[in-house]
């Protein structure tokens, strides 16, 4: 099943793991091993929370709106340069208890993507940017605006999952991947109008982080 069509209440990525843990929980319950029952029950609850997959819809009808691709808290908003192009950089941190599904920022096409498999160091480690798992994607809107999204994993036993193809079309809010815990950076064109502030909480597929039109 593709991530885009993964609409069950629990993501298909978590089916096998939750099934195994649920079986252990049932076994320990039936055999009266209370301590192991408690431990497996706690693990099962944690997995169900991490892999939960709620439906999300934005009430925004503006065609230039850019929706957050990830749940979390906005750390910073900065100006930067990417390939000699000035862009606005919105950095978002998501915790292990946020919804982990990644979603398309608008109706558009995947221009390109790359994934680097690697370590899972804490983000304050000086080598995290170089060694940690990272995924970088480029989405292009119907009007030709390009938005870059970078996901960097942090201290998680669950790898980044990205299921896209070049030139694949996505509807706004469609699922394209999974990030259990880490940092996401959304790069918007210089002319984009940012609608969040540092400290804002955002929800993937629902919260508007900006508009591609300046007006």
Which pLDDT belongs to residue 149?
A: 97
Q: Are residues 95 and 139 in the same domain?
A: yes
CATH number, residue 154: 2.70.70.10
130-157 pLDDT, tens per residue? 999 999 999 999 889 999 999 999 988 8
Which pLDDT belongs to residue 74?
A: 97
Which pLDDT belongs to residue 134?
A: 95
Q: Please, are residues 137 and 112 in contact by the beta-carbon 8 Å criterion?
A: yes
Q: Are residues 138 and 99 in the same domain?
A: yes
Domain count, the chain: 2
Closest to 118 measured CA to CA, from 166, 156, 165, 164: 156
Which residue stretches of the chain have pLDDT < 50? none
Q: Are residues 11 and 84 in the same domain?
A: no
Give the Cα separation of 16 and 148 in Å (integer): 32
Residue range(s) defining the domain that contains residue 162: 65-211
Backbone angles phi, psi at 153, to 5 degrees: -80, 150
Give the other-Cβ count within 10 Å of 2's Cβ.
13
The token pair at 161 is 């999952």
Which pLDDT belongs to residue 18?
A: 94
Between vectors from CA 139 to CA 9 and to CA 151, what angle results, nearest 5°?
A: 60
Q: Are residues 87 and 9 in the same domain?
A: no
Which pLDDT belongs to residue 30?
A: 93
**What pairs with residue 142 in β-bridges?**
none
**What pairs with residue 144 in β-bridges?**
none
């Amino acid at each position: 099943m593709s991530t885009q069509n993964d609409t069950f209440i629990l993501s298909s990525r978590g089916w096998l793991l939750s099934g195994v843990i649920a079986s252990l929980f049932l076994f320990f319950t039936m055999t009266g091993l209370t301590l192991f029952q408690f431990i497996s029950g706690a693990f099962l609850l944690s997995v169900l929370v991490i892999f939960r997959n709620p439906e999300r819809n934005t009430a925004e009808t503006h065609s230039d709106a850019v929706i957050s691709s990830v749940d979390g808290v906005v750390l910073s908003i900065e100006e930067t340069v990417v390939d000699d192009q000035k862009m606005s950089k919105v950095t978002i941190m998501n915790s292990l208890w946020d919804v982990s599904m990644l979603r398309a920022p608008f109706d558009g096409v995947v221009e390109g993507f790359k994934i680097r498999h690697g370590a899972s160091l804490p983000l304050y480690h000086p080598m995290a940017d170089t060694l940690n798992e990272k995924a970088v994607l480029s989405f292009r809107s119907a009007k030709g605006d390009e938005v870059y999204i970078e996901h960097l994993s942090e201290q998680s036993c669950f790898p980044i999952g990205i299921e896209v193809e070049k030139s694949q079309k996505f509807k706004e809010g469609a699922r394209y991947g999974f990030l259990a815990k880490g940092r996401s950076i959304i790069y918007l064109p210089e002319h984009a109008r940012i609608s969040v502030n540092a400290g804002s909480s955002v929800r993937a597929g629902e919260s508007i982080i900006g508009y591609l039109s300046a007006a």
